[in-house]
Amino acid sequence: MTLNEIFSFIEGERKYIIEFLSNLIQIKAVNPSMGGPGEFKRALYIEDELKKMGISNIRRIDVRDERVKEGVRRNLIAFIPGENRDKTLWIISHTDTVPEGDISLWNTPPFKPVLIGDKLYGRGAEDNGHAIAASILAAKTLIKLNLTPKINFGLMFVADEEAGGRYGMLKIFEENIFRKNDLIIVPDAGTPDGKYIEIAEKSILWFKITTIGKQSHGSMPHKGLNAHRIGMKFSLILDDILHRNFSDIDGLFEPPYSTFEPTKKDKNLDNINTIPGSDIVYFDCRILPKYDLDKVISIIEDTRKLFEKIYNVRIFIEYIAKSQAPPPTSPQSEVVLKLSEAIKKARGIEPKVYGIGGGTFASIFRRRGYQAAVWATIDETAHNPNEYTRISNIIEDAKVFALMALI
């Protein structure tokens, strides 16, 4: 069968992909760490689709989690045997999403998919519905056209990516499923032109700052100690100190520098006319791999101690996430070279490698010595209001995945 015939089949599945992804978006799968119901119902829907298309080799890995109604977080593994059964090409997607955020910023209901032209809108449409749909379509192509992949073609639909992977990929690794020569593709980051293959990620540091002062009446600030003012000042000065101390540039990454962003702010009071006695702010830091996170934390702690002394407050810092970046995937690794070849043949473009600040499953693989590549064709709307993905990009990415299975 020619490439044109294979690609023509994939292009003919546009209606199916719109219906599949629309159904997926409507199944709310917000991570329970963020107040959501989890991914179980999405996993049921995906498993049903796999069976309908003729895949019977499906494995479930359930991880106990009492926070969700079902009591478990479900991970799915689907498998199409290849000519060489000692090696597998894995396409790994995640099934959980972040919450919708400020609903007033959405032009359409976040969990009611809306198709406008080529764009399908909804929470999780891009992150990671795009990857789920593209990998499903690639698998459907191999089965319906009776094409045997060169090596095994494996799909994973994994829980808990948005909260670190404890109920997903970290548990899956305990099952000894992967071989060191497997090819790992994680379609969880990309660019609008599909030109860039991610081979490296920044280190991640999330922390919570709690400033304790003394509450008082709003008209009597001299009797209190305004934790809000001191907390804001501490956050802004810390922001400046971190940027100045870790300011190097690395052109592999986008953006090419470390980022230190104050993000979430907890409510301190319900009324205006009270001086707050406590204040809570969170930071999300994405740091170039050359820097040791322990050094970053040392500077944070030195700044905290100085502020406590100057302002006579107590400041507590909780480190919520700390992940030192693993060594990058080699640009000459088999997975990068084969992915590059498939992109060139299917898309007619010359791929380049780069690094990102976001965290994906690829870092879990790299930390364990696996070569993993992250790639997708997306407009980078993940976690934003009015998140969307382009149906045409799903179709083009499915071509690349199907071709990778055949070369």
CA distance 25 to 22: 5
Of residues 182, 188, 281, the one with CA closest to residue 235: 281
127 is catalytic: no
List b or e across 340-364, with b for residues whose CB sees 16 or more CB atoms inside 10 angstroms. bebbeebbeeebebbbbbbbbbbbb
Alpha helices in 320-387 (DSSP H): 334-347, 361-367
Catalogue the E-assigned strands of 151-303.
151-158, 183-186, 196-201, 203-212, 216-217, 253-254, 259-265, 274-275, 278-287
Q: What is the largest CA-CA distance in the chain?
A: 82
**Catalytic site residue from 13, 100, 160, 161:** 161
Give the 3-state secondary structure of residue 262.
Answer: strand
Residue 272 has pLDDT above 90, yes or no: yes
The model carries a pTM of 0.86
Contact between 84 and 150 (Cβ < 8 Å): yes
Which has the closest alpha carbon to 138: 316, 288, 346? 346
Residue 1 confidence (pLDDT) above 90: no
Cβ pair 211, 265 in contact under 8 A: no
Examine the pLDDT at 44 and tell me if it is beyond 90.
yes
pLDDT for 94-110, tens place per residue? 999 999 999 999 999 99
Q: 203-323: same fold as 3-201+325-406?
A: no
Class of domain 3-201+325-406: alpha beta
Cβ 342 vs Cβ 406: under 8 Å: no
Q: Which of 13, 49, 65, 96 is catalytic?
A: 96
Half-sphere exposure of 153 (CA within 13 A, CB side): 24
**SS3 category, 135:** helix
pLDDT tens-digit map of 185-206: 999 999 999 999 999 999 999 9
Find the mean pLDDT for residues 224-241: 97
Q: Which two tokens stand for residue 363?
A: 């870092």
Mean pLDDT confidence for 234-261:
97
Q: Identify the pLDDT of residue 358.
A: 81
Query: Which residues lie below 8 Å from residue 306, measured CB to CB, with a gap of 6+?
Result: none
- Split at pLDDT 50, 70, 90, the class of 326 is very high
Q: How does residue 359 score in pLDDT terms, banded at 50, 70 and 90?
A: confident
Count of CB atoms within 10 A of residue 151's CB? 20
Contact indicator for 377, 397 with CB cutoff of 8 Å = yes
CA angle 115, 7, 133 (to 5 degrees): 40
The CA-atom distances, in angstroms, between 121 and each of 22, 242, 312, 316 are 9, 37, 50, 40
Domain at 203-323, CATH class: alpha beta
**What pLDDT does 42 receive?**
98
> Tokens in use for 80?
């199409």
Tens digit of each residue's pLDDT (9 = 90 or more) over 381-392: 999 999 999 999
What average pLDDT does the chain have? 97
pLDDT at 209: 98
Beta bridge partners of 394: none
Question: Domain ranges in the chain?
Answer: 3-201+325-406, 203-323
DSSP state of 34: G
Question: And the tokens for 180?
Answer: 């060191």
Averaged over 224-253, what is the pLDDT?
97
350 in active site = no
